[in-house]
A and B are shown apart, each in its own frame.
Chain A
């Protein structure tokens, strides 16, 4: 495999990394009137781990298929450097791809599977044997060369699929929900392995998933898809802490939502009257001066009990349930006709009594106000 290049190693460095692939005004429609992908621009930077995240039908997989060459854009162009890509057949693109169900060749042994991309490239016997061996070592499965795919576990098949996609040393690797079929523990382990292969080989990875946790833990940058458009493209931390619109805020991570009407607006600060009758001061992200608004608060930013002292807005509710999660407690509070969730670290909170009255609140910078029209999926 390639030696690690001089690549950016911190997420923020990718802001300046050179562009590898550019989507330019890409649209795709299958029936002539509904757009699966709408006028989409996207830059994939060399060496980054880019995740396309979104619900099913959001256009993320279609984008990946257009990049792989299995779908042709209806309009627009995909550029690989200076080379237009959209009419190039898949086998000439030199892009590695890992499929959702691994797509190993069932009639070939593992070694033959991994040798396939090398054979079609006309490599010599000795070179192939050498590379296959190294690829199997890389995914830490040196002893299974002669087995058939159906004799392997799901995790092993996934590693073979990885080895096969990487053995011909593509600079760009696409992964279409590769961990979807694995159980939780194995999935987390594979996330880590894929991530470390990405770093040690200096690959550019485009990764499709609908699992937002997976996206947050693996990616350098995440593009959130909805309705054939990218709603936000940012690094995981910015995406989670400063979502650009209500959809991103509710799709990525957990959230509490208070619907209401804008009472006043002053720069970044707005006062919202909730349907439950409370006035909340919130950080205005995606709202105008008047009209409806949705206030989104992360559960870990909801304060309860004594911690509300000194907060501007405090709401009173009733504890419905307390769920113990080991490292934190999840407190469900009935207030304003809603189920409000507060996450408290186990060590610094005394569990509130179910059925008791409770006061909760949040800092106004943790309450982010969005346009409800751009919040629903």
Chain B
């Protein structure tokens, strides 16, 4: 009896040893890629996402103010210690030439915040000491905005270490001085419009790639081998053309005295040339062209698996060609439709260069604003928050897709 268990134990040990070796080898094989991904993908993305809720601009230049503010709950009057701290910090940062960092941060939350800080800094440069150490009076004398609770509340909130300011701003929301979430004024609201525009352009592009790609993919799967290869190359052509060449071609084709307009006028469809580029039409045409392969290839892959006899069987059982398509062929192609649509949609909501090149001012999508805040205004917090919005949308869509696919396979 004990012999058997000893033998079994030995077997288990040997098995575990073999397993360990196998696992270590598998890990070593993927380790280089894993390290590469950590440093080139996960770390930068994590750092970017961190900036959407970490608020360190003010803290980096006004340490004393931050210390006072973090001790203050925001209830009642601002603590008296705030004013000398603020005076000392502004003076120090002005001397270190980085007062603009805090001024810019305050400007996000308060209208005229930058002017207020810069003006006060100049005033403080001329003021050696405050009478009776009443720095509050000095500030109020410099600008009466310092007396408003909203200004002080904004400064308190900007003191970090974390903030919901950027994420709210990315959805056209902000907190009022009582801490409740409200919509920003109509004239400042822009990101919801941009988000809606991003989704509607992506939706239109998805629809057009589906309408154009479905019959194409169908034909591809029915064609002979050489024809199928030619059709695949044809659909992949946009990948092999430089973006600038493609853009130049679209401009030549779509401009007001371009080929398409001339044709339409000549055919009598239009009386006068229509604007087809540097507007929404141009953006949708160009993106549809580039994203077509992402629709056609998953569709064709699924359609290849559909047995043509099922359609024949439906016909022999009494279905008209349309019914056979609607009830038998199309439902079987749905996983391809879902896969293609999701790929196109997710790629499209992140599009940046194509709309920037062939779109007008009103056609820029969310990514353009991210690039704008990163490159032009250096507002990394808002850029990161917009990135979070995009990432959340993509993740939700992927989960929905995974659920659909899993549901179909289970059913």
Contacts and interface: CB of A to CB of B under 8 A. Distances in A.
Interface of A: 68-70, 89-91, 93-97, 99-101, 103-107, 116-117, 120-121, 148, 164-165, 168, 174
Contact of B332 (A99, A101, A107): A107
Given A101-B309, A103-B307, A120-B317, 15 more contacts: A68-B312, A70-B315, A90-B312, A90-B316, A91-B316, A91-B317, A91-B320, A94-B318, A96-B317, A97-B316, A99-B309, A105-B314, A105-B328, A117-B317, A168-B318
Contacts of B31: none
Interface string B314-350: 1111111101100110011000000000000000000
A4 B388 CA distance: 72
B66 to A, nearest CB: 62
Contact of B317 (A89, A106, A164, A174): A164
A93 B315 CA distance: 10
B397 interface: no
SS class, residues of chain B in contact with chain A: helix
B193 interface: no
Contact of B319 (A91, A94, A97, A164): A91
A69 B313 CA distance: 11
B318 A103 contact: no
A62 to B, nearest CB: 14
A136 to B, nearest CB: 16
Contacts of A95: 316
A166 to B, nearest CB: 11
B129 interface: no
A269 to B, nearest CB: 51
B319 A99 contact: no
A90 B135 CA distance: 95
A96 B318 CA distance: 9
A96 B316 contact: yes
B313 to A, nearest CB: 4
Contacts of A148: 411
B93 to A, nearest CB: 68
A116 B315 CA distance: 11
A272 to B, nearest CB: 48
A104 B306 CA distance: 11
A120 B307 contact: no
- The 4 tightest CB contacts between A and B, nearest first, are A103-B309, A117-B317, A103-B313, A97-B316
Contact of A69 (B310, B315, B327): B315
Given A99-B312, A120-B323, A107 B317 contact: no
**Interface core residue of B316, B324, B331 (most chain A CB under 10 Å):** B316
A89 B316 CA distance: 9
Contacts of B312: 68, 70, 90, 97, 99, 103
